[in-house]
């Protein structure tokens, strides 16, 4: 009798595990339960679908359900919500249209992902208030944008409740949250002619980046006529009396809006695991060892529902990003088919585009976080040319590099440049340094490629390492 590998969740981690397990073992029975109808899709592309740069939701799908079933011989059951796990009997219970299915397993992967955080403020359930955590969310937002763009072609019956007068449906719109989703959606909406107000509770956007990066992004948003409200905690989304949002209310202001997007981050979906006695870690996500196995034997966790180990601190962290989900899912697929494989650590590497600016970050940048991990952080910020000075159309790259004062070990970096001038790709050199526990003096001597169209002889990352190394010598 062959083993059965059951997976809860059909996106990045779940389908990476299923696909790898199938490649490794053609006889393994693989059953995937997915609550929705979409699987293996690029949620990170949703802001660009809303903006209109990507024309269809289907374009965001890497592999269709039919391809998984017919070409990869995976028993993918969409529209099935798993409601219980019994580790003693080694079963999961799923429900579809009121019908219950009990499925036994030999190996179980929880890949339940994350959900949008909806802050506890009045008005979040009003008409015209959106989140962007799923394909259906993206569809709703795209339709809202389309109503504004195609006003001449629509009849009154097609007009949504958040936009009674279509000719006025280009704003204002409120975006709550100055992180990745908030900034990307501010661009998407502004590019479609909306008057965009971005509300951020803290005193800068992109709080996980350096101050220099955050300021550069905020300044560019303002240049593109996004109204940036810093230090503005939203206290209420006001009702117009008919159940539709009409204003974003902060301690200092009341800004009229026709719609609002909540982009205040995500949290792991852990309810199913908790009910089954599967332990959570200090971050609130599911705890797992190096092989992604939980405290319950043969039950694994990967993707946005689970913790990972930070390569700098060696401690548990929660970094819900696509590459981590794919990598950890793939490792589980190898492990359950007989080749124990570690999922690997994370550096918290991330990137964001804001109109004509790109930014990246990796490692530990927050001074308090670095000190809690036992480091004495020192940072330097430099601005250097992205290409040889004589080469046309170059720009600047600003790099903030952080290292430990005593050891010189590189702790993290934040980079920002004009779009296409290489801030994101340059961050990869720093990731290599973090993975190798390299010192800033070693990073200074990295043999990075040089040609005038791509960088200067001394790449901006090397310049930052030299300057910071000089501070530490």
> Are residue 254 and residue 273 in the same domain, yes or no?
no
The pLDDT tens digits for 380-434 are 999 999 999 899 989 999 999 999 999 999 999 999 999 999 999 999 999 999 9
Give which of 87, 76, 67 is closest to 10, Cα–Cα: 76
Residue 343 inside a domain? The answer is no
pTM assigned to the model: 0.93
- Give CA–CA dist 143/193, Å, rounded: 15
Please give the pLDDT value at position 169.
57
The pLDDT tens digits for 217-242 are 999 999 999 999 999 999 999 999 99
The pLDDT tens digits for 245-267 are 999 999 999 999 999 999 999 99
Residue 313 inside a domain? The answer is yes
Q: Is the pLDDT assigned to residue 153 strictly greater than 80?
A: no
Residue 347 inside a domain? The answer is no
pLDDT classification of 149: cutoffs 50, 70, 90: low
Please give the pLDDT value at position 170.
67
Residue 255 inside a domain? The answer is yes
Give which of 267, 266, 325 is closest to 10, Cα–Cα: 325
Residues 6-31: what's their mean pLDDT? 98
- Give CA–CA dist 290/382, Å, rounded: 37
Backbone phi, psi, residue 47, to 5°:
-60, -30
Q: How many domains does the chain have?
A: 3
> Are residue 248 and residue 134 in the same domain, yes or no?
yes
Please give the pLDDT value at position 150.
58
Please give the pLDDT value at position 155.
38
Residue 155 or 23, more confident: 23
> Are residue 168 and residue 188 in the same domain, yes or no?
yes
Please give the pLDDT value at position 468.
98
Residue 228 in contact with residue 220, Cβ under 8 Å? no
- Give CA–CA dist 230/277, Å, rounded: 41
CATH number, domain containing residue 405: 3.30.390.30
Active-site residue identified among 44, 163, 169, 305: 44
Give the end of a domain, one of 335, 370, 393.
Answer: 335
Q: Is the pLDDT assigned to residue 151 strictly greater than 60?
A: no
Q: Which of 92-101, 154-163, 364-373, 456-465 has the lowest mean pLDDT?
A: 154-163
> Are residue 255 and residue 271 in the same domain, yes or no?
no
Please give the pLDDT value at position 165.
40
> Are residue 50 and residue 161 in the same domain, yes or no?
no
> Are residue 307 and residue 209 in the same domain, yes or no?
no
Q: Is the pLDDT assigned to residue 156 strictly greater than 50?
A: no
Question: 405: domain range?
Answer: 358-472
How many residues does the structure list for the chain? Answer: 473
Residue 120 inside a domain? The answer is no
> Are residue 103 and residue 135 in the same domain, yes or no?
no
> Are residue 309 and residue 383 in the same domain, yes or no?
no
- Give CA–CA dist 471/462, Å, rounded: 14
Percent of the chain residues past pLDDT 70, beyond the cut: 95
Range 417-445 burial, b when 16+ CB lie within 10 A, else e: bbbebbbbebbebbbebbeeebbbbbbbe
- Give CA–CA dist 360/425, Å, rounded: 8
Backbone phi, psi, residue 281, to 5°:
-95, -175
Residue 245 in contact with residue 131, Cβ under 8 Å? no
Residue 71 inside a domain? The answer is yes
> Are residue 306 and residue 273 in the same domain, yes or no?
yes
Q: What is the average pLDDT score of the chain? A: 94
CATH number, domain containing residue 301: 3.50.50.60
Please give the pLDDT value at position 118.
93
Please give the pLDDT value at position 157.
37
Rounded to the nearest 5 percent, the helix, strand and coil shares of the chain are 30, 30, 45
The pLDDT tens digits for 161-220 are 444 443 445 679 999 999 999 999 999 999 999 999 999 999 999 999 999 999 999 999
Please give the pLDDT value at position 220.
98
Active site residue 44: yes
For the chain, the first-to-last Cα distance in angstroms comes to 64
Residue 410 in contact with residue 438, Cβ under 8 Å? yes
Residue 349 inside a domain? The answer is no
> Are residue 322 and residue 438 in the same domain, yes or no?
no
The pLDDT tens digits for 268-297 are 999 999 999 999 999 999 999 999 999 999
Describe the crossing of helices 423-435 and 460-472 by its angle, rounded to 10 degrees.
50
The pLDDT tens digits for 71-83 are 999 999 999 999 9
> Are residue 257 and residue 284 in the same domain, yes or no?
no
């Amino acid at each position: 009798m062959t083993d059965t590998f059951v997976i809860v969740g059909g996106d990045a981690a779940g389908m990476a595990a299923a696909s790898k397990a199938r490649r490794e073992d053609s006889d393994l029975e693989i059953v995937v339960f997915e609550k929705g109808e979409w699987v293996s899709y690029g949620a990170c592309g949703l802001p660009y679908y809303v903006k209109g740069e990507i024309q269809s939701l289907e374009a965001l799908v890497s592999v269709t359900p039919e391809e998984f079933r017919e070409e990869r011989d995976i028993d993918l059951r969409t529209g099935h919500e798993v409601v219980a796990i019994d580790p003693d009997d080694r079963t999961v219970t799923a429900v579809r249209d009121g019908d219950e299915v009990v499925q036994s397993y030999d190996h179980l992967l929880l890949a339940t992902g994350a959900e949008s955080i909806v802050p506890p403020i009045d008005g979040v359930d009003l008409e015209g208030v959106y989140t962007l955590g799923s394909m259906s969310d993206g569809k709703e937002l795209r339709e809202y944008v389309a109503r504004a763009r195609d006003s001449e072609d629509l009849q009154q019956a097609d007009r949504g409740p958040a936009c009674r007068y279509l000719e006025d449906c280009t704003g204002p719109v409120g975006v709550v949250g100055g992180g990745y989703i908030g900034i990307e959606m501010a661009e998407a909406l502004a590019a479609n002619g909306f008057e965009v107000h971005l509300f951020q509770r803290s005193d800068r956007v992109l709080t996980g980046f350096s101050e220099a990066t955050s300021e550069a992004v905020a300044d560019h948003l303002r240049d593109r006529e996004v109204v940036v409200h810093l230090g503005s905690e939203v206290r209420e989304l006001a009702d117009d009396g008919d159940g539709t949002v009409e204003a974003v209310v902060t301690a200092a202001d009341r800004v009229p809006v026709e719609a609002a997007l909540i982009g205040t981050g995500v949290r792991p979906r852990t309810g199913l695991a908790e009910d089954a006695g599967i332990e959570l870690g200090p971050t609130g996500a599911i705890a797992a060892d190096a092989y992604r196995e939980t405290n319950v034997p043969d039950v694994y966790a990967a993707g946005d529902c689970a913790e990972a180990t930070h390569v700098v601190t060696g401690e548990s962290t929660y970094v819900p990003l696509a590459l981590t989900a794919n990598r950890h899912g793939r490792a589980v697929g190898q492990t359950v088919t007989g080749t124990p494989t570690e999922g690997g650590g994370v550096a918290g590497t991330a990137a964001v585009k804001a109109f004509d600016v790109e930014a990246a970050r990796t490692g530990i940048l927050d001074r308090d976080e670095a000190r809690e991990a036992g480091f004495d952080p020192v940072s330097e910020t430099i601005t250097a040319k992205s290409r040889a000075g004589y080469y046309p159309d170059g720009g600047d790259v600003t790099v903030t590099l952080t290292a430990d004062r005593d050891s010189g070990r590189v702790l993290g970096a934040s980079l920002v440049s004009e779009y296409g001038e290489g801030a994101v790709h340059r961050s990869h050199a720093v990731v290599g340094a973090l993975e190798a526990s390299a010192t800033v003096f070693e990073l200074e001597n990295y043999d990075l490629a040089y040609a005038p169209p791509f960088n200067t002889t001394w790449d901006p990352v090397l310049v930052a390492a030299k300057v910071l190394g000089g501070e530490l010598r």
